[in-house]
A and B are shown apart, each in its own frame.
Chain A
Amino acid sequence: MRKPNRIVEKGERGLKAFSYAVTVFFLACGILPLVWLLLTSVMDNPSIESSKPQFVPKIPHSLTVTVDYTGVLSEDPAFYKKDAMEAIWFPWATMSRSNLGEIVVNGVKDGRLLFRAKANSGQFFVGQTSIVPTRVVNNTVMSLKIRTIDERRLSDFHWYGPEGKAADGASRSFSDHELARRYVQFFQEHNVLEGQVVSVGHSRNPLRLFDSYVSLQHLAFGQAGELGFYRYFINSAIVTFSVIFWQLIFAGLGSYALSQLIRSHRLRFGLLMFFLATIMIPGISILIPQYVLIQKLGLGDSLWALMLPHFAWGFVIYLFKGFFDQLPKELLQAARIDGASEFKTFLHVVVPMSIPVFVIVAVMTFIPVWNDFMWPYIVAKSPAHWTFTVAMNDLQETSARNSSVRPNWVSASGVISMIPLLLLFVSTQRFVERGINFTGVKG
């Protein structure tokens, strides 16, 4: 039924339908790659390794092993720790192609829980090349590796002691899942453990799908120190927020002075040109002198080197000035007559009226600084000063060189890298839409 007052033109329906089709198509184009990224980041190991891409992750297996030490005299935790690591790492190395997500080893003695040791696939695959590169199985090998395991936290070991809690359920059973059988068989063939494997339970642990995220962390412990992968994010955040801080305060004050405080027209125009002309200079054209200057200042390989060049941005001055030009002069005059200093006027009168432009500047600063890659890549030499873009590129390069870095870790790093920008967009969308109107790019 047609609405009585409205004439539907010829072609209008067709256009509308076409518009919907185009919009849905482009939205799918934009979003599907991200879905693939998300999906591969939680993909189980055999699926990511397989020659055909897999679309549904399979839930990883979890083995819970009980080792009985009744009759073993030693009370030294280090002694048991080595044994626990052997119980985890040696058999896992033979099963590395299976979808094993975690091995938990419970050490018991006289019905008491002596220790509990754990490693998940995130930890295992990071350590595989350094802890169990070969199939040599003996005590000497493991004693040499304990330090690496500790340094990069490749396994958890909790010592309860001989007076520890009672071992729960002394079920001396062996699951007949294939992995459990292979586990038992391994220790029948290799007699390295001091204790006796008395039970192997099998379950599935969906949490272990997220082990690629865990891997990133353990991978970075060896490179960037204590904070692991967070280090890179903190670096990126420090740089980004320092630049935003500078732009909001100093570019804001400068543009305000330019817009409202300078009375000479010629001077104002000259200064405006001084700032805006720099928009023409592409970053790469001053890359070399910038590098030389940073080295000269002795700031090479520090976070200062990453932020300083971003302080001079003509575009931000342009945005601020465009907004401040429209401020009602009477209001500013009134504040001055009341005896407020220029700084107080700025803080108490101008800033509250200009929240939208401050948000826009923050967003417009955040995105390019957060995503910046070439400059940090060139200037930040040591991993402790890497931003996450540099870290991601390193991850990818290692992954291309050898298989020690797996594709699902790279995907996981991609997913993590989206989170800050996602939060930014969700929280500022309203302002960005409004802000488009005063960026001056409108026709």
Chain B
Amino acid sequence: MAPESSRSHVAAGPERGRFRIRWTPVLFLLPSIVVFIVFKYYLICSAVYISLHNYDIVRPPGEFVGLENYFLFLKTSTFWLALKNTFVIFLLSVAVTFWVPIAQALFLSEIGRANAVYRVLYQIPSILPAVAGALLWKWMYNPDRGLFNYLLGKIGLGPYGWLNDPAMTKFAIVLPGFFASGGVGVLLYYAAIKSISAEIFESAKIDGCGPWRRLIHMVLPNIRFVILIQFVTFMSGALLTFDNIFVMTQGGPADASLVVSLLIQRSAFTQSNYGMSAALSLFMFIVIAILTVIQFKLQKEES
């Protein structure tokens, strides 16, 4: 904290000719402004700068290559494979995971008794850190000694290769999300459902709208803003997922689960190709930004 406050005279506060400068807000805001400038704005500019160089971490910045890093990765088949895998995993996790907390909250809202208890119980899976979850599932997926092949074998299925099978590994990476997708999401949706005014329901009841239809035609549309917000967060999370894939497969087998975030880590820290890695990461930033804007546009048009 000390070095920041000593710089207070340099930083431009809320200085306007006609105002007296009030130093208290400047002091209050200064630490935050400094860390945001250093750890966000400087870094994103620096990312652009690095991506334009054949970056040498020992003797920075190395040779200036312009946009070559971008053209270079666009030409590799590994990149396109990773991009495809990223989107396949994203779509799979939408299909397997995203709807789960919505369904949980919807049906939870129909249960009157001991509701709070269920909400607490729904939080339990989220106490397991992602890395620990990945370890647990990797062990359960073990083709020879794992729990799944044993249990499925009992009912005459399998044995499956799970993470070791290139055709199955993406699904196996996404599946744990189905089991542990409760968490804060349920609380958010639940709060949104409960805040829908009861009058709407009463009038719908009088109009002869049954409980099932009510759920689908009245509750869902009323919480669609929350769903959108959650989807945007979910999307950037799923497109940049790293921890569980890294722990479970490290991109294998045969690059079947290699995603862009893994490629970013790999090209920087195992191939020392920092320029390329920065270019890749900016590319993902732009992709996600565009997708987010599109979603908000669509939402606006609809309403």
Contacts and interface: CB of A to CB of B under 8 A. Distances in A.
The judgment on whether A and B are partners is yes
Interface of A: 9-12, 14-16, 18-20, 22-23, 26-27, 29-34, 36-37, 40, 50-53, 250-251, 253-254, 256-258, 261-262, 264, 267, 271, 274-275, 278, 280-293, 295, 308-309, 311-312, 314, 317, 341-343, 367, 370-371, 373-374, 377-378, 389, 392-393, 395-396, 407, 410-411, 413-414, 417-418, 421-422, 424-425, 429, 432-433, 436-437, 439, 441-443
Nearest to A264: B14
B17 interface: no
Nearest to B19: A264
Chain B interface helix/strand/loop/mixed: helix
Nearest to A21: B107
B140 A429 contact: no
B92 interface: no
Contact of B111 (A19, A289, A295, A433): A19
Given A421-B127, A436-B191, A290 B24 contact: no
Contact of A30 (B135, B179, B192): B179
A9 B122 CA distance: 29
Nearest to B275: A288
A393 B248 CA distance: 10
Interface string B161-194: 0000000000000001011101010011001100
B288 interface: yes
Contact of A282 (B225, B226, B278, B285): B285
The dominant DSSP class at the A interface is helix
A241 to B, nearest CB: 16
Given A282-B288, A374-B246, A414-B128, A40 B139 contact: yes
A308 B25 CA distance: 23
Contacts of B60: 292
B24 A261 contact: yes
Given A287-B264, A342-B24, A371 B121 contact: no
B43 interface: yes
A29 B178 contact: yes
Given A31-B125, A436-B188, 9 more contacts: A16-B110, A261-B25, A262-B25, A282-B285, A286-B281, A288-B55, A411-B139, A421-B127, A442-B226
A30 B24 contact: no
Interface residues of B, number: 108
A429 B122 CA distance: 12
B122 A292 contact: no
Given A53-B147, A414-B132, A374 B268 contact: no
Nearest to B292: A280
Contact of B182 (A26, A53, A389): A26
Contacts of B223: 443
A287 B292 CA distance: 21
Nearest to B150: A53
A412 to B, nearest CB: 11
A443 B192 contact: yes
Interface of B: 1, 14, 16, 19, 22, 24-25, 28-29, 31-33, 35-36, 38-44, 46-47, 49-50, 55, 57, 60, 100, 103-104, 107-108, 110-111, 116, 118-133, 135-140, 144-147, 150, 176, 178-180, 182, 184, 187-188, 191-192, 195-196, 205, 210-212, 215, 222-226, 229-230, 236, 240, 242-243, 246-247, 261, 264-265, 268-269, 274, 277-278, 281-282, 284-285, 288-289, 292
A396 B41 CA distance: 36
A292 B131 contact: no
A30 B122 contact: yes
A433 B115 CA distance: 12
A439 B226 CA distance: 11
19 contacts: A23-B108, A29-B178, A30-B180, A253-B28, A261-B22, A262-B25, A286-B44, A287-B268, A312-B40, A342-B25, A370-B129, A374-B243, A374-B265, A377-B246, A410-B135, A417-B129, A418-B127, A425-B123, A433-B187
Given A27-B121, A442-B195, A396 B247 contact: yes
Contacts of A50: 145
Nearest to A268: B14
A371 B129 contact: yes
A343 B288 CA distance: 40
